[in-house]
Chains A and B, each alone.
Chain A
Amino acid sequence: MRDDAWLEALAGELRRQGVPHDTARHVLAETAAHLWDSGDEPLRAFGPAQSYAAAVAESVRPAPARAVPGGPVRLEVVGVSKRYGRRTVLREVSLTVRAGQVAAVVGANGSGKSTFLGVCAGLVSPDRGEVRVHGTLGYCPQGGGTSDFLVPDEHFALVGAGRGMSRQDARERGRGAAAALDWDPRGAGQARHLSGGTRQKLNLVMAGLGDPDVLLLDEPYQGFDRGSYLDFWQQVHRWRDAGKAVVVVTHLLDARDGVDTVLDLTRREATR
């Protein structure tokens, strides 16, 4: 009984760590066989499911072949400045992101991170400077962005329609992307009944619908628990490996998040 609970936790953690489904299946079967043969307590033989899954993920990860790729430039921001009244929010900010790269935008509260992303998305017009996007764009706001009285499937259909997808295609892809975030949106009800974290998952799924070339993500993990936070970074890495250019606004940057470029908007040193 206790073995089952532990194995189930291991299955969840392996998925969370991005271990391929087939590999995970084999690991689970082998672990179960070991427990059966040895009569060991899982916790004693393998430790906590979470750390064992991390060790497995480390062992099956392909050799670090990923040199920073020189893919084509997808996003070019050159010398952007923006003031609100007397307050200068952005001063001469530049950033280049190529296909297959992740850029993190960091900085204290009020340093203009969201304004910067809004400029990239074309939602905020800069006073000076230029933004060039080569390809299609997906944008995930920090909050809002969902429609209170629509269910998730309707969100997918709506966004999909704007990107030339059929209703069914949009729904299926939306559900698939949601599953990668450990969320099943079927029967989830209207968006106004979703928790903050789940609404952000909905936003994230919508940003990725239709396979845009550039993804702009504005602290999309508000309200996520630890697991969902890891799922989120896994998703970012999948996008990167699929050749997307990803820009993530974040105030907590972990060395393990594996970003290629960091843009620090903290006052004065607001370049590169």
Chain B
Amino acid sequence: MELERRSQWLRGVLDLCVLGLLAQRESYGYELIQSLSAAGLGTIQGGTLYPVLLRLQRSGQVAAYWREGAAGPARKYYRITPEGGQTLRRAAADWQSFAGGVDVILREVAAR
């Protein structure tokens, strides 16, 4: 139940989290998964993340290129585009006000 709720929350914001991480620096899928996990969002599977990246790429929010690694196969790196940056700024403001509203209501409960 709790897990399911968390994954529902995540579904709503995963693309924004990915954009947010890419706004810090360009990255590739596996590294993004590690960063999301380090941020406390739990383990996101490749089958969940890559379709999100494809959608972001299709809509022009991120750009991608291939880079050879020191070892192993080439990796597909993603970089946020100006358009993606705009989306991110708008959505970040929206999120602040939305999460703030939830927080006001739930804080009461936690304090009781």
Contacts and interface: CB of A to CB of B under 8 A. Distances in A.
Contacts of A33: 28-30, 72-76
A38 interface: yes
Contacts of B58: 59-60, 62
Given A29-B73, A45-B45, A34 B30 contact: yes
Nearest to A51: B47
Interface string A22-53: 00001101111110111010001111000010
Contacts of B28: 33
A60 to B, nearest CB: 5
A257 to B, nearest CB: 23
B54 to A, nearest CB: 4
Interface residues of B, number: 19
Contacts of B95: none
Contact of B46 (A45, A58, A59): A45
Most buried by A among B47, B50, B52, B58: B47
Question: Interface SS of chain A: helix, strand, loop or mixed?
Answer: helix
B12 to A, nearest CB: 17
A34 B46 contact: yes
A31 B50 contact: yes
B46 A56 contact: no
A59 B76 contact: no
B50 A56 contact: yes
A26 B55 CA distance: 14
B54 A59 contact: yes
Contacts of B75: 30, 33, 37
A5 interface: no
Nearest to A23: B54
A47 B47 contact: yes
A45 B50 CA distance: 11
B76 A55 contact: no
Interface string B28-60: 111001000000000001110011101100100
A44 B45 contact: yes
Contacts of B76: 26, 29-30, 33
Contacts of B47: 45-47, 52, 55
Given A34-B29, A34-B30, A46-B47, A56 B54 contact: yes
B51 A59 contact: yes
Given A45-B45, A45-B47, A36 B29 contact: no
Interface in B53-100: 54-55, 58, 66, 72-76
Nearest to A37: B30
Interface of A: 26-27, 29-34, 36-38, 40, 44-47, 52, 55-56, 58-60, 62
26 contacts: A27-B50, A27-B54, A29-B76, A30-B29, A30-B50, A33-B29, A33-B72, A33-B74, A33-B76, A34-B29, A34-B46, A37-B30, A37-B75, A38-B33, A45-B47, A46-B46, A46-B47, A52-B47, A56-B50, A56-B51, A58-B51, A59-B54, A59-B55, A59-B58, A60-B54, A62-B58
Given A33-B73, A34-B50, 8 more contacts: A33-B29, A38-B30, A45-B46, A46-B45, A46-B47, A56-B51, A58-B51, A59-B54
